Amino acid sequence: MLTKIMRASHLAPTSEIGFGGSSKYSTINQTPQQSIGESKGKVCAHNGPKYPCDRPVYVKGYCSMHYHRLNRGSTMDARPACINKGKICSHDGPKYPCDRPAKSKGYCVTHVLRLYYGKPMDAPHQMKNKGKTCSHDGPNYPCDQPARAKGYCQVHRKRQCGGKPMDAPIRIRGETKGKTCAHDGPKYPCDWPVTAKGYCTAHYNRQYQGSPMDAPIRSESGDKICAHDGPKYPCNRPAKAKGYCQMHRKRQREGRPMDAPRRRT
């Protein structure tokens, strides 16, 4: 910056560069310098035939909106954005007149989107589902949940969009509270609390993965002690998995010696 100023000083007097002269222009920046408070009390210079402006001056004689329009090369005599302030939607259809606040082009959000996408203007709002129940009336699982969209509740509308079976049970939060697992095998019946689809976590995962259902659950060894009974270092820690404590189960899985002392830190 200093180099530019020094170069400019060889081409013009000091008074023209702005170092104490009274010149209104600068050799470096060929734009008029606006003094502080110079535009105070003035209004925008734009006086279009359709939308004259009386906003306070922001810079170069224009308000903020018209100055940015001038910079971008946009139309100056256009409707300002705040023309909708305090007004209601201009849609006055014979069936569904609207009294919502105007947001854009004299319309509310719903009607301006309908205008943009070319949809029918004189149609009811989405509030038509208010107070109604879901229209799904399947033979096995009819629904009485409140309607949210397209006459369906949130669950059935989501199933309809995803192409999933409509006539399936709905899982309601808290309905399985106090119930036990539906698995009642001959060897290992289960009395754990229900987590999903009538099963506990273990049996639901087995059903999902296709594993044998009537098999012991790992936590059945929770009240037992480790099955390792070596001659040198027998273990009396609680069993965690496969009848072993956590340390001996890890040694068994990694193929390390079982009858070894426990590392103490």
Q: Read off the DSSP letter of residue 177.
A: T
- 263 in any annotated domain: no
Domain encompassing residue 5: 1-32
What stretch of H or E contains 216?
none
In a shared domain, residues 139 and 157: yes
How many CB atoms sit inside 10 A of residue 27's CB? 17
Q: Read off the DSSP letter of residue 171.
A: -
- 264 in any annotated domain: no
Kindly tell me the burial class for residue 225, based on how many C-beta atoms sit within 10 Å of its own C-beta (0-12, 13-18, 19 or more).
middle
Per-residue pLDDT of the chain (265 residues; tens, 9 = 90+): 445 544 544 444 444 444 444 444 433 343 444 555 566 788 998 888 888 888 899 888 898 888 998 898 888 888 776 667 778 898 888 988 988 888 888 889 889 999 999 999 988 776 667 778 898 888 888 888 888 888 888 899 999 999 988 888 776 666 667 788 888 888 888 888 888 778 888 888 888 888 888 887 765 445 678 888 888 888 888 887 878 888 888 998 899 998 988 775 4
Alpha-carbon Rg of the chain, whole angstroms? Answer: 39
- 242 in any annotated domain: yes
Distance between CA atoms of residues 216 and 243, nearest Å: 11
Distance between CA atoms of residues 198 and 184, nearest Å: 12
Instruction: Please report the pLDDT score of residue 114 as a whole number.
Output: 92
Distance between CA atoms of residues 260 and 265, nearest Å: 15
Q: Give the chain's domain count.
A: 6
Instruction: Please report the pLDDT score of residue 264 as a whole number.
Output: 59
Instruction: Please report the pLDDT score of residue 55 as a whole number.
Output: 85
CA atoms within 13 A on the CB side of 212: 9
Asked whether 255 and 262 are in contact (CB, 8 A), the reply is no
In a shared domain, residues 140 and 150: yes
Instruction: Please report the pLDDT score of residue 29 as a whole number.
Output: 40
Asked whether 241 and 249 are in contact (CB, 8 A), the reply is yes
Indicate the residue among 124, 156, 188 that finishes a domain: 124
Within 8 A by CB and 6+ apart from 31, the residues are none
In a shared domain, residues 175 and 211: yes
b/e string for 61-95 if b means 16 or more Cβ within 10 A? bbbebbbebeeeeeeeeeeeeeebeeebbebeeee
What the block records as the tokens of 67 is: 């100055």
Distances (CA, A) of 192 to 132, 176, 177, 189, 199: 38, 12, 12, 10, 8
Within 8 A by CB and 6+ apart from 112, the residues are 103, 104, 105
Indicate the residue among 169, 198, 232 that finishes a domain: 169
- 262 in any annotated domain: no
Asked whether 16 and 27 are in contact (CB, 8 A), the reply is yes
In a shared domain, residues 53 and 72: yes
- 265 in any annotated domain: no
